[in-house]
Structure formats: structure tokens, C-alpha cells
Structure 1
Amino acid sequence: MREIRTNRTPSPVGPYSQAVEVNGFIFLSGQIGIDPESGKLREGFKAQVEQIFKNLDAILEEAGISRENIVKVNIYLTDITKFKELNEIYEEYFKDVKVKPARVTVGVKELPLGAEVEIEVTAVKK
């Protein structure tokens, strides 16, 4: 097992790794829309989702892989009525990926730091 860490994303807000590699699988911890430069949560749903995807890309790159390697996405929304808006941003993020990952989207009461969305992914090295 090896830890994957980059300083191009915010440091974890708790005692956990940004990502861990085990037997060719990369498990990325859930990301909320924190801007790594300011250390603050981005304002607004769309801005948070876009920041999350930037942060995920940075971690994937540090692991030596890309969006193409994502096999599963778990999404947590504090407002399930944002599902359609989420799908529009999500579709753009994965537009060049041939095989779209499996996914689950769950409505939750609240997330750390008042975030509106949290996304975690599992990827595999090909």
C-alpha cells in the first residue's frame, strides 16, 4: 500500500490520506470544493463541483493516471434538487472518457465545512 499526496490540492481536513494505492487500485478520499490557494470553500454549487474536479485531476495526475482510469464515482449532495445541474457539469468533465465510470449519487443532510457537494472516486491503473 502506498499513500498518494500532492500539495496542488488542499490538505486533508482530518487524519486520512488524499489517496491510497493498493494492488493497482487508487482510492481517492472524498473531495469538497476547497480552493488549494486560498484554503477556503468556493462559493456556489457550480464553483464547488468544478473545484472538486480540479482537485481530483491533481491527485490522479500525482498517481500517474487520468480520468480515463476512474471506475467508480460516489457523490454526496446536500440538495438533491441540484442533481440535474450536477449532471451537466459531470457530463462535461467526462466528455472525452470513452467508458463512463459507475456512479452513485446520494442526498445527505450536511457535509464538512458547509460544502454543498462531496465527490470520491476509485480508479484503476491499466
Structure 2
Amino acid sequence: MTNNHRLCIQSAAIPAPRFHYSPCVQIGSLVQVSGMIALDPLTGQLVSGGVGAETACILANLQRALADYKVSLNDLLIARIFTTRFEAFAEINAAWEAVFSGDLNPPARTSVGVSALPLGASVEIEFTFVQS
């Protein structure tokens, strides 16, 4: 694959996008995952339970799609977290630390408070990977 060739990747392991966009795009060794909200993989509906539950669902969905995206958590360069509930960020951190603990080095991370997210979600996370 040349560096200027763009590959759009879908994963059957997670809910399909509800709008017209590519959930994952690869150019060369760079793999960009579009912002994910907490959609239940069985129903496609937004999960309930607050920001911690939403974050855990997003991270679980990401892990389900990693094989299709041909990356691993060790390839994760940066995650960008958007939340409408910044005052509850400790719950986001708890779900994050449940995944990025032990010998797994966490990626760089940016966190931004926003006024609204798609489908009434409280958390959205986008991910950038570099294949090793």
C-alpha cells in the first residue's frame, strides 16, 4: 500500500455507522478511527448508565474491532475524548484505567468538554493508531 492510497475499513464486530462516514480510514501505516459513541453491539442503541458505562462500552467496542482494523492497543498513538459531563471525568478515567493498566502503556490523550454529542451521548472518543 502506498502512502497516498486511502483504505476505508468496516468492522462487523461493532454497530454500523448511522450516518454517512467511514468508521476507520487507513493511509500507509496511519489508522484513524472515527469518533465512537457507546452503541450496544447487539441492539445498536446508546447504552445507559452514565459516562463510565459509556466509556467502558466505547473501549470494549474498539477492542472488538481491532482485528478488522489490523492494529492493537500497543499501536494506539492518541485518543481524543469528548464529553458533555466533564464534572464526571473520574468515571471516564476509571473505565480508561481498567483497559490501560499493567504492562500496557497508555497512549497520549486529549480530553475536551463539549455542549452536545451525537444521539445524546455523554462521551465520544476518536483514536489514532500507527501500525508497527
Q: 1:50 aligns with which of 53, 56, 60?
A: 56
- In the superposition, the TM-score normalised over structure 1's length comes to 0.93
Q: Distance in 1 between matches of 2:96 and 2:53?
A: 13
1:76 and 2:82 correspond? yes
- Kindly report structure 1 stretches of 4+ aligned residues shifted beyond 4 Å: none
RMSD of aligned Cα (Å): 1.2
Query: For residues 65 and 8 of structure 1, what CA distance do their matches in structure 2 show?
Result: 14
3-state SS, counterpart of residue 120 of structure 1? strand
Aligned length: 126
Q: Paired residue for 1:37? A: 42
Identity of aligned residues (%): 35
- Give the TM-score normalised by the residue count of structure 2: 0.89
The CA deviation at 1:55 is 1.3
Contact 1:18 1:59 in 2 (8 A): no
The equivalent residue for 1:6 is 11
User: 8 Å contact 1:27–1:122 — kept in the other structure?
Assistant: yes
One-letter code aligned to 2:91: E
Look at both structures and tell me which one has the larger radius of gyration over its CA atoms.
Answer: 2
Secondary structure of the corresponding residue to residue 15 of structure 1: coil
